[in-house]
Chains A and B, each alone.
Chain A
């Protein structure tokens, strides 16, 4: 019996040279069990292909693509030193960790706090007005001033295509989504004073980001997508 398990599998993969393939075919003709084994190998391959193929069709997360654009186009995401370290990310909850490389620079910059001025003016109940509305309308995560009183943490689309943005100021933050009236405030959080280094944040800011992740239909918008959304005046794409 010269046909090995390795040869059967390689035959199923089409990886044998013609002489060896003929040998396997002869053995299969003589022994139906071998033919069934080859079929099982092919079935397994089809199953694995079907399982993993959709992953390569997904769009790449923006924070990974961002590593491959010129440095001057945006701030570099935080380096992942090891998988274990990335997981812990100094206490960030797992739900937030995936977005941390994207929002990290905004969080860090938000630690340089200027005076927070509550917005004023007459706006419909439940909608952002004044300075907050202006920040939501105009500021981009990638190029907002480091000392902006209101920092945009990230922008995303929710189910249905509405554009939403998470912001934080010194002691509060929230999520607002754009509709025909304006920026409707969907969530609001009282936030502790941000302090310490890079990723140490008030627990409730973690809640804010987790809430954003729950609302988002996909990932956060990257710099180009956010700029395009602003040019559309935050209308649905």
Chain B
């Protein structure tokens, strides 16, 4: 079956190599955006982080080796940008956003669910960045410990201990909410 929507016909004009790269990134975007919003703590900052990640990936597309996993490559780019930007972000958050105000990045739900969800946001915002990324990569994004360590660029043991510290801190902050 041949589709004739404008987006398809314009995509057909392009080389297959670049088409597959862009379409693959597009397919990863929902997950990448979830990771970005989790890292950055708000939709607006998460979307900006997504945009920077896409731009850097497009600029460096020739550094990605076909046949290797594009998703872990994209996650690595995103976390590197976030860590590079981290100090400015943290400073701004401390200045302008009261962590107790709640950032509510999660899904919608009943009123009770909403209260609980914003508690998760607040707790995540209080975690150090290295623990937050370890928690998100393994517990939300579903990477194995080894894969997460490769994305972060640290030994598995380091990733593991960050993850445990992050979990313990979250459980202490969320006690009774489960």
Q: Does the CB pair A9–B88 fall under 8 Å?
A: no
- Which chain B residues lie closer than 8 Å to A134 at the CB level? none
CA distance A10 to B149 in the complex (A): 14
- Which chain A residues lie closer than 8 Å to B174 at the CB level? 44, 47
Q: Does the CB pair A83–B48 fall under 8 Å?
A: yes
Within 8 Å by CB of B139, from A40, A45, A54, A67, lies: A45
| B150 part of interface (Cβ distance < 8 Å) | no
Q: Does the CB pair A68–B120 fall under 8 Å?
A: no
Given known pairs A15-B145, A68-B26, A70-B11, the reply for A48 and B140 (CB within 8 Å) is: yes
CA distance A70 to B9 in the complex (A): 11
Q: Does the CB pair B85–A224 fall under 8 Å?
A: no
CA distance A9 to B167 in the complex (A): 8
| A174 part of interface (Cβ distance < 8 Å) | no
CA distance A94 to B29 in the complex (A): 23
Within 8 Å by CB of B164, from A6, A45, A47, A53, lies: A6
The main secondary structure of chain A at its interface with chain B is: helix
Closest to A77 in B: B51
| B78 part of interface (Cβ distance < 8 Å) | no
Q: Does the CB pair B44–A43 fall under 8 Å?
A: no
| B6 part of interface (Cβ distance < 8 Å) | yes
Q: Does the CB pair B163–A9 fall under 8 Å?
A: yes
Q: Does the CB pair A49–B139 fall under 8 Å?
A: yes
* Chain B residues with a Cβ closer than 8 Å to the other chain, count: 60
Tell me, rounded to whole Å, the shortest Cβ–Cβ distance linking B170 to chain A: 6
Tell me, rounded to whole Å, the shortest Cβ–Cβ distance linking B33 to chain A: 6
- Which chain A residues lie closer than 8 Å to B50 at the CB level? 64
- Which chain B residues lie closer than 8 Å to A13 at the CB level? 138-139, 145
| A115 part of interface (Cβ distance < 8 Å) | no
* Chain A residues with a Cβ closer than 8 Å to the other chain, count: 48
Q: Does the CB pair B34–A56 fall under 8 Å?
A: yes
Residues in B122-178 with C-beta less than 8 Å from chain A: 135-136, 138-140, 144-145, 160-161, 163-164, 167-168, 170-171, 174, 177-178
CB-defined interface of A92-110 with B at 8 Å, one 1/0 digit per residue? 0010011001000000000
A: which residues have CB within 8 A of B? 5-6, 9-10, 13, 15, 40-41, 43-45, 47-58, 60-61, 63-65, 67-70, 72-73, 77, 79-80, 82-84, 86-87, 94, 97-98, 101, 224, 227
B: which residues have CB within 8 A of A? 5-7, 10-11, 13-14, 22-23, 25-26, 29-31, 33-34, 37-38, 40, 44-45, 47-52, 54-55, 58, 85, 88-89, 92, 105-108, 116-117, 120-121, 135-136, 138-140, 144-145, 160-161, 163-164, 167-168, 170-171, 174, 177-178
4 residue pairs, one from A and one from B, having the closest CB atoms: A54-B107, A55-B34, A51-B106, A43-B178
